Structure 1
Amino acid sequence: MVVSVYAVSHDPLILYTPIGGARPLSTVAAIGRRLAERRATLLLSPNWTLERPAVVNRMGVDLAWYRERFPLHKLIFLCNTEEERRLVTAVGGAAIFSNHNLMVSEDIFRPLPDIPVEFDAVYNGRISHTKRHYLALDIERLVHVTFSIGEISPAGARAFVRCLQAQSPLHHIANPIVDGMTAKLATPEVNGVYNQAAVGLCLSAEEGAMYSSMEYLLAGLPIVSTPSLGGRDVFFDPDYCVIVEPEPAAIRRAVERLRDRAIPRQEIRRRTLEKVRTGRLELTAYLSALKQRLGSSDPPFPQWPFQGAGTLMRWATLREHAREIAAFPQASAVPDRARPL
Structure 2
Amino acid sequence: MVAQHRLVSDHIYKVFDEPGVYIFKASFEGKDVMARLVNHLKPGDWCFESLMWFFNWEIAKIRFRRWRSLHAMGVNYIVMANSLEEVWRCRALGIPVLLMPQGQFINEQVFTLANEDRDCRYDAFYAAQAVAFKRLHLAEYIKKLYVLTYACPENSLGEYDLRQFEPKVKHADWNKRYISDLQEITSLMQKSHCILALSKVEGAMWASLEGLLCGIPVVSTRSQGGRARYFTTENSRIVPSNPKAIAQAVEYYKYHTPDPQRVRDSALEKIFIDRKNTSKYFASKVLRKQGWSTCQVEHHLFHSKTGIGKFLLKGPDQDNSASTNHNRKTSA
**TM-score, normalisation: structure 2:** 0.82
Per the alignment, do residues 246 and 37 of structure 1 end up closer, same or farther by CA in structure 2, a change over 3 Å counting? same
2:64 is aligned with 1:60: yes
1:334 match: none
2:187 is aligned with 1:192: yes
Residue 67 of structure 1, CA deviation: 2.1
Cα RMSD for the two superposed structures: 3.1
Q: Secondary structure at the match of 1:242?
A: strand
Per the alignment, do residues 229 and 160 of structure 1 end up closer, same or farther by CA in structure 2, a change over 3 Å counting? farther
Residue 66 of structure 1, CA deviation: 3.2
Residue 29 of structure 1, CA deviation: 3.1
1:48 match: 53
2:38 match: 33
Per the alignment, do residues 83 and 4 of structure 1 end up closer, same or farther by CA in structure 2, a change over 3 Å counting? same
1:140 match: 143
Q: Using the alignment, how far apart are the partners of 1:165 and 1:81 within structure 2? A: 30
Q: Using the alignment, how far apart are the partners of 1:228 and 1:219 within structure 2? A: 22
Per the alignment, do residues 211 and 159 of structure 1 end up closer, same or farther by CA in structure 2, a change over 3 Å counting? closer
2:289 is aligned with 1:288: no
Please tell me whether the aligned partners of residues 16 and 323 of structure 2 are also in contact (alpha carbons under 8 angstroms). Answer: no
Q: Using the alignment, how far apart are the partners of 2:143 and 2:168 within structure 1? A: 10
Greater displacement, 189-198 / 4-13: 4-13
Match for 1:29: what amino acid?
M
Residue 328 of structure 1, CA deviation: 5.3
Residue 165 of structure 1, CA deviation: 9.7
Q: Using the alignment, how far apart are the partners of 1:273 and 1:37 within structure 2? A: 36
Aligned residues: 312
Greater displacement, 197-206 / 80-89: 80-89
1:3 to 2, 6, 10: 10
Greater displacement, 157-166 / 85-94: 157-166
Please tell me whether the aligned partners of residues 49 and 206 of structure 1 are also in contact (alpha carbons under 8 angstroms). Answer: yes
2:258 to 249, 256, 263: 263
1:233 match: 228
Per the alignment, do residues 38 and 309 of structure 1 end up closer, same or farther by CA in structure 2, a change over 3 Å counting? farther
Please tell me whether the aligned partners of residues 222 and 241 of structure 1 are also in contact (alpha carbons under 8 angstroms). Answer: yes
Per the alignment, do residues 283 and 224 of structure 1 end up closer, same or farther by CA in structure 2, a change over 3 Å counting? same
1:335 match: none
Greater displacement, 231-240 / 103-112: 103-112
2:81 match: 79
Residue 186 of structure 1, CA deviation: 1.1
Q: Using the alignment, how far apart are the partners of 1:254 and 1:42 within structure 2? A: 41
2:24 is aligned with 1:17: yes
2:237 is aligned with 1:242: yes
2:329 match: none
2:104 is aligned with 1:102: yes
Q: Using the alignment, how far apart are the partners of 2:84 and 2:258 within structure 1? A: 30
1:323 match: 317
2:130 match: 127
Return 5+ residue gaps in structure 2 as ranges.
Answer: 1-8, 325-332
Please tell me whether the aligned partners of residues 219 and 250 of structure 2 are also in contact (alpha carbons under 8 angstroms). Answer: yes
Residue 139 of structure 1, CA deviation: 0.5
Q: Using the alignment, how far apart are the partners of 1:287 and 1:314 within structure 2? A: 18
Match for 1:209: what amino acid?
A
Please tell me whether the aligned partners of residues 5 and 313 of structure 1 are also in contact (alpha carbons under 8 angstroms). Answer: no
Please tell me whether the aligned partners of residues 11 and 329 of structure 1 are also in contact (alpha carbons under 8 angstroms). Answer: no
**TM-score, normalisation: structure 1:** 0.80
